[in-house]
Amino acid sequence: MADYHLELYTQEKKVFDGDVTSVIAPGGLGYLGVLAHHAPLLTTLTRGTLTIRKGSEITQFHLAGGFLEVHGNQATILADGLKPL
């Protein structure tokens, strides 16, 4: 699978900045998955589990809400609150 660039921010700091294979995020209407070359997207995020996959490595966070933007093979998440799982 192809990779794309992800930046993940909280109000305090940049939490993640790197290439990923996929992101699964809790959207307002349910969980959504983002792979490389995804169509442009701007959506709100709700409370739930944020899963970041880089090859076989998986990192998960508890997300309190926020926003997700996907554009030009890059994704940006602005998180209201974030705790590692």
Who has greater pLDDT, 1 or 9? Answer: 9
Distance from C-alpha of 57 to C-alpha of 40, rounded to nearest angstrom: 25
pTM: 0.94
CATH number of domain containing 76: 2.60.15.10
Count how many domains the chain has: 1
Q: pLDDT per residue over 22-46, tens digit each?
A: 999 999 889 999 999 999 999 999 9
Strands 48-54 vs 22-27: parallel, antiparallel or unpaired: antiparallel
Domain containing 77 equals 4-84
Mean pLDDT of the chain: 96
pLDDT of 1 over the 80 cut: no
